[in-house]
Structure formats: structure tokens, C-alpha cells
Amino acid sequence: MKYEQLAKDIIKNVGGKENVNSVVHCVTRLRFKLKDESKANTEVLKNMDGVVTVMKSGGQYQVVIGNHVPDVYKEVLEVGDFSKSQNESDTEEEKGSILNRFVDMISGIFTPILSVLIAAGMIKGLNALFVALGWLDDTSGTYQILNATGDGLFYFLPVLLGYTAMKKFGGTPFLGMVIAMALVYPSLEGIPGSSEPLYTLFAGTVFESPVYIEFLGVPIILMTYSMSVIPIIISTFFAAKVERFFAKITPAVVKTFVVPMATLLIIVPITFIVIGPIATWAAQLLGDGTVWIYDLSPVIAGIFVGAFWLVFVMFGLHWGLVPIAINNITVQGADPVIIPMMFAHSFALAAAILAVWIRTKNKKTKTLSAPAFMSALFGVTEPGMYGIALPLKKPFIFTLIASGIGGGILGLFGTTAYVMGGMGIFQIPSHIHPEEGMNLAFVGSFIGIGVASVLAFVLTYFFGGFGKEESTQETSKENETTLSSNEGGKVEIVSPLKGDIVPLNQVSDEAFATGLLGKGIAIEPSEGKLIAPVSGTVTALFPTKHAVGLTTDEGVELLIHVGMDTVNLEGKFFTGHVAQGDRVEKGTLLVEFDIASIKKAGYKLTTPVLVTNHDAYELTTTDQKQVNVDDVLIIVEDGTEQTASNAV
């Protein structure tokens, strides 16, 4: 264990583990809540190898570590025998509005498996396409193997969700998987039909259910849990709480096996007896309800979903709709509401970007348009939306209009998704009917995206506002002496925020002000949008979304920390638009935050923008007093010679 000794020394000098109420971490520091801060040896900690400094703020005793704080945190939990779930769950209930908490929960559960979920759906869709084209027979071995490859994930979907949901709720992920495995256990699923029911519950109602087995005399209503979504999520929610309860009362010497055993013995039967049936009925009602709304007017439903899908994506609200689509496919066998109705949006956006690409005279916009166009065709809309359409405004509006009309056409033809497939062009096979093949509804999907694409292109091409303002912008850009990000080993970092410049040494947080965490500059933001200042990879995104780490293609490491001590808000008033590991282009929206609410909560919004591996570079920062997004903020150079542009 690389940081075991450091963890022991830290715990010892904060007064021992008996002096610790809780410990969490942010991007750079351990945050202790101590029973008695006077017992901590602050000076010893400050002089300790591996500790940058020690700070006291907001009732927390903060031990600043640096970028490797997650590794140190793990060792501190293990050495101090602190429960990670307990430390993180103490404040888990206070995360903002119900809607924000719901969206955060859903995204946390589904994001880790979304790529493989889409991959499996694409394989199923392609398999259906091969059969429809006559390339494969649905009795052939090739078809069966491909079908198993694509369908296996959906059959055992509760097992994957058991892992991700349990992890999201602060429990042991493998416990969630075991609960799910019990739900899809083949022997239990095979009981109905193999014998006569013992008796029937709720006879004469919509919930009429035959009972085949009992648990300690209690009747169990057997449901089909393979391919289900809601039952395992609800089950793991309660399982995490039960696990934490037993973790508190179980002696450490037997905790390793007693806690999971007790949790399973309670949760699995309760899930079969109560949670599973109720959740399954709820899932069926949800599916019936969405289809009922769709049946009222497929055209209006298509216009609404199509027109507002990109807006939902902007605010993260689409995460509340994705599970409905998955639920519809697993319960109803198809989704006519969500997946097909939003199908046209990526094609409309691609067409609008293509029009921008052709018409624009702005070199930067033209350069960004090519990759954004291709990514939109494949269903990845963020680069085009945030980098092209939104900044130019009119292309975004035209995209929404075209997407809505395309969605209405899809609703008119009754286009339906039968698998959770890919996005963009990869979504096309998802609309092939399992029995009818390429029917009229499938043909309608091409008409819908075709009309949306043509409309978005024509509106943007002729009315996109490519005129005097853009020409002036281009001339202004050409007159600036800016440095290319790959000329002479120089990297240009633009401002990720609009606001007033604050010298780093004037930041109220000592760790930032003294440059211990990196060199750079700070901004007092006037707009609550954090934009990627470089192209590169998101190497760190704290769960509370208040801090982002980026690494440029040239290896420059950045840390952007929105506000002082805003980690204490635990994600409240912050909305993330990227995930750790994502590749982003300069101009991509990373995080949105509510300035007024954060200030009202008593937190400063001064935002340091730091180069954390500054020892390898020479830095030149802007001398402007105010900056807009995309103004040059910092120039990073190899070697010792610095050549400042007119913008810095």
C-alpha cells in the first residue's frame, strides 16, 4: 500500500481515529470533521512529506494533499477503519432539489453501463438487419451466437444494475450483483407453468397473481425479473441502508462475512415478497402510461420529444427519460415514445453544422465544424451543440425546429425502437420490426430524418446570420497575435469563464494563493457556465462537479476549481455535462452552476485556473482585467523563453 504510512501519520496527527467524526475528500484535500481540533498537530502535519499544507475552514480540518488525494483517502479509510459508505452517506440526503437528486441518481446508475448497453443493442439491431436483408436465417448458428451476444446483456441487465446502483447508493457493489442474481435465478423463473399454483392472491383485480411457493409461510408472487430495471434499483437502495446498519453494529472481527450475509438474508426475501412485485407492477404501469400518452397523439408526442431533446441534454434531464425507454423495451417489448421520437435530432444538428461549415468565413468555426458534423452523424451531439450551434444561436434554434418536425413525422409513421441500440446512424437498425422486418414504420424513420436534415440545412444556410458580424469577428481574430497550441511547444489556454480577473495571490484560500496546488490565475465569474479552455481529456471530475481536471494533448495538466469550499455544497447548484475520461474539444460545456444560489449559501465563487505540472513549463498570464470565454488566459511554453501575445 503506497500511502499506508502517510495515512497512519495523518490519522495520528489529527488526534487519532477516535477524534474523527467523518472524513471525505475533494479534488485536492482530505476534509476531516474532528471532535476536538485542538488535539490535532497542525504544524507536524504541515511539515510532513506528502502533505502540502493544513487549513481550517467551514468547520472542517483540511489536509491538502494534491492530485493523488483519492489514493491517500482510500488508505486513510482502511487504516482508520472508517466506513466509506458511512462517511459519504452522512450528507448524501442533502443534494439539492428532488429533480436534481433524481437525475444525478439515474445518471450515476446508467452511465457506467451505457456504452456496453448501446453496443449490445447495436449487435441485436444489426442481427435483425441481416435477417431482414436475407443475409442470415434466424435458425442459423451465426444468428444464434450474435443474438446471444446482444441479448445476453439485456437478459442479465439486473446484474449490471445491481453493481452500479449499489455503488451509487454507497453499498458494496458485489452485494447488489448477488441480489440481482437471485432475482434472475433460472430455477425460480421456471416454477410458473411447471406446477399448479397453491392459491391465487388479489383474485378478480388487475393484480391477480397465482402463488406457487412460500417463504416461511409468506406467499411469494413470482415475477420475471430478467431484463427488468426498476426492481433491482429499489432493492439495492434499501440494501445499502441495511448494509450500513449492520456495519455499525457488527464487531470488526466478523464484519467481513456477517454484514453481507445479514444483508442478503433480509433483502433478498423482502425483494421477492414485497419490493419485486410492487416494482414490477409500477414498471408495467409506467410503460402503459407512456404508451397511453403516445397514443393520444403520436404526432404531438414526436414534435415535443424531438424539439426539446437537445434542451433535455443541456440540462441533463434526458437521464430521466432514458430509463423509461429501457423500461418500455423490457416491459412492452418496444419503445415508441422516447428513442424513435428523438431520432431526428442528431441528423438535424449535423445538417445545420454542415451549412455552417459551408457558409462560415470564420476559420476557427470552419475547423471545428468538420469533426462536429461527423460526430453528430454518429449521435454524439455535444461538440456540435456547444461548439457550433449554441454560440451561433440561430443554428441551434433551427435544429430544434427541424428536430420537432422530424419527430412529428416519426410519430405519424409509428416508428418504434425494438432494442436499445446506438445513436445517429447506428440507431437505424433499432427500428426494424422483429417479425415484419423493414415495414412502413421503418421507412418512415428515413423520411423523418430526411425532412429534418433538409429543413435544418436550408434554414441555417439561408438564415443563419453569416454576415457582417461574423466578418468583423474574423477580422478581429486575424488582427490578434495569438499563439497556436502546437507552434514552438506553446499551448494556448483560453478563459473557461466570463468574468473579472483575480490575481492568484489574492485568492482567499491559502493553498491556491501560495501556488501550492499549481500556478495560474483566478476568475470571478459573471456567468455560470464553465467551458473547456483546451482540447484534451477530462482526467478528474469530482462527484460534486465543483472541480474539473483536464490534460491537453500536449500533456499540460489543468485544474479548474469553481469557488472556495464549494465541495461542501455536495453538488447542489452544480450540473455536470461531461464525465471523467471524456475527450472534449475547446469550447465544450463542462459544468453549469447557479451563481446566485451559491452566493446565497455563503460561498465565494472565485475560480482558480491552474497548471498543476507547471514545473515543466514557463507561464504567461493575461493582464486584462476582464475576460470573456475564449479570450487567451494563459500561455504555457516549453523552456525559458516567453513570448507574450498582444492578448496577454
Q: Which residues are catalytic?
A: 26, 561
Q: How many residues can be counted in the chain?
A: 648
- DSSP character string of 556-571: -EEEEE-SSSGGGGTT
Helix runs in 577-625, H state only: 595-600
Residue 558 near residue 552 (C-beta atoms within 8 A): yes
**Rounded distance, CA 161 to CA 138, Å?**
30
With the C-alpha atoms ordered 352, 354, 358, 360, is the resulting torsion angle positive or negative? positive
Question: Which triple of cell numbers denotes residue 178?
Answer: 448477488
Alpha-carbon distance of 162 to 379, in angstroms, equals: 28
- Residues 6 or more apart whose CB falls under 8 angstroms from that of 479 comprise none
Q: What are phi and psi of 294, to 5 degrees?
A: -60, -40
Cβ-count burial 616-634 (b if 16+ within 10 Å, e if not)? ebbbbbbeeeebebbbbbb
Contact (Cβ atoms closer than 8 angstroms) between residue 272 and residue 220: yes
Q: SS3 letters for 464-510?
A: CCCCHHHHHHHHHHHHCCCCCCCCCCEEEEECCCCEEEECHHHCCCH
26-56 burial, b at 16+ Cβ within 10 Å, e below that, comes to: bbbbbbbbbeebeebebeebeebebbbbbbe
Q: How far apart are CA 599 and CA 434, in angstroms?
A: 55
Under DSSP, the state recorded for 432 is: S
* Cell of residue 468, nine digits: 457582417
Considering only CA atoms, which of 92, 242, 239 is closest in space to residue 176?
A: 239
Q: Which three cell numbers stand for residue 312?
A: 433535455
Task: Give, for 219, the enclosing helix (H) or strand (E).
Answer: strand 218-220
Record the cell numbers describing residue 125, joined without a space: 439491431
* Amino acid in the structure at residue 164: T
Angle at CA of residue 518, ends 512 and 524, nearest 5°: 50
Distances, alpha carbon 414 to alpha carbons 47, 204, 404, 419, 433, in Å = 69, 34, 15, 16, 11
Q: Are strands 20-25 and 29-34 parallel, antiparallel or unpaired?
A: antiparallel
Residue with cell 489529527: 14
Inter-residue contact 252 to 78 (CB < 8 Å): no
**Angle in degrees, 0-180, between the axes of helices 394-413 and 440-463, rounded to the nearest 10:** 160
Alpha-helix runs per DSSP H in 21-68: 42-46
Contacts of 126 (CB under 8 A, 6+ apart): 146, 429
